[in-house]
Amino acid sequence: MSFEIIPAIDLIDGQAVRLSQGDYTQKKVYANDPLEMALRFEDAGIRRLHLVDLDGAKAGSLKNLPVLERLAKQTKLQIDFGGGIACRDDLQSVFDAGAEMAAIGSLALKQSELFAEFVLEFGAEKIFTGADVRNELIAVKGWTENTSMHIDSFIRQLLEIGVTKVFCTDIQRDGMLSGPSTDLYKRLLEEFPKLKLTASGGVSCMDDLHKLKATGCSGAIIGKAYYEGKISLKELQTFNA
């Protein structure tokens, strides 16, 4: 079974940053130019990139589209882009700017009928749905708003409209280097065997990636573990080999 490692570049004001537990006040800038970072990933044999418009997620509208366009033009990475997609025009703009997939979270929950229309028009394979959780309840709007929707119910709704590509972030682990929510992912995959689940949040070392692969996850999004030197590009190359 293939397992894809997907580095994340999170954007605020056009810079590559990381937050801790989704807290915008706990921001650390890792690169002024995200393109340099993307090229480094590409040179290491990475094929995918998770590009997150944190400004857009918070504001509810696209803010870092020019960064997506630049990275799509100057690398061969398959980019999924999310944060601030609020309407069909936004989604079209993301694809026009070069994204392979659109990463959608808040809208999938809060405007489920509109989301279903997106899936019907653009195809489920073009949608990478975010299920961001605190204590297994979905959080939206860049993790700033909690909901009462349980992740199981949310995934059930997604599968009903043909969406299978889901990335699940345990917000309390994100950026903390405390290890991923392996038990949660294992349970979800047992309950929903058609799910193509990508793990996100908490990856701290290569051993975490091996454990996630063993659970049956389709891949893992990594961020801080790479940026803080816990995982090297050389190790990722070996893992992908």
Instruction: Give the Cα separation of 94 and 234 in Å (integer).
Output: 31
CA-to-CA separations, 167 to 69, 146, 188, in angstroms, rounded: 23, 18, 12
pLDDT digits (tens, 9 = 90+) for 126-155: 999 999 999 999 988 766 788 999 999 999
Q: What are the structural domain ranges in the chain?
A: 4-240
Q: Which residue among 10, 53, 55, 174 is the active-site one?
A: 10
Residue 218 DSSP one-character state? S
CATH match of 4-240 with 3.90.1300.10: no
pLDDT value for 241: 57
10 catalytically annotated: yes
pLDDT value for 3: 94
User: In this structure, are residues 13 and 232 in contact, taking their beta carbons and an 8 Å threshold?
Assistant: no
* Nearest of 170, 174, 132, 222 to residue 23 by alpha carbon: 174
Q: Which residue among 132, 170, 174, 208 is the active-site one?
A: 132
174 catalytically annotated: no
pLDDT value for 208: 95
pLDDT digits (tens, 9 = 90+) for 140-197: 876 678 899 999 999 999 999 999 999 998 887 766 677 899 999 999 999 999 999 9
**Segments in the chain below pLDDT 70:** 1, 142-143, 174-176, 240-241
143 exposure class (CB count in 10 Å sphere: 0-12, 13-18, 19+): buried
pLDDT value for 89: 97
pLDDT value for 57: 86
pLDDT value for 175: 67
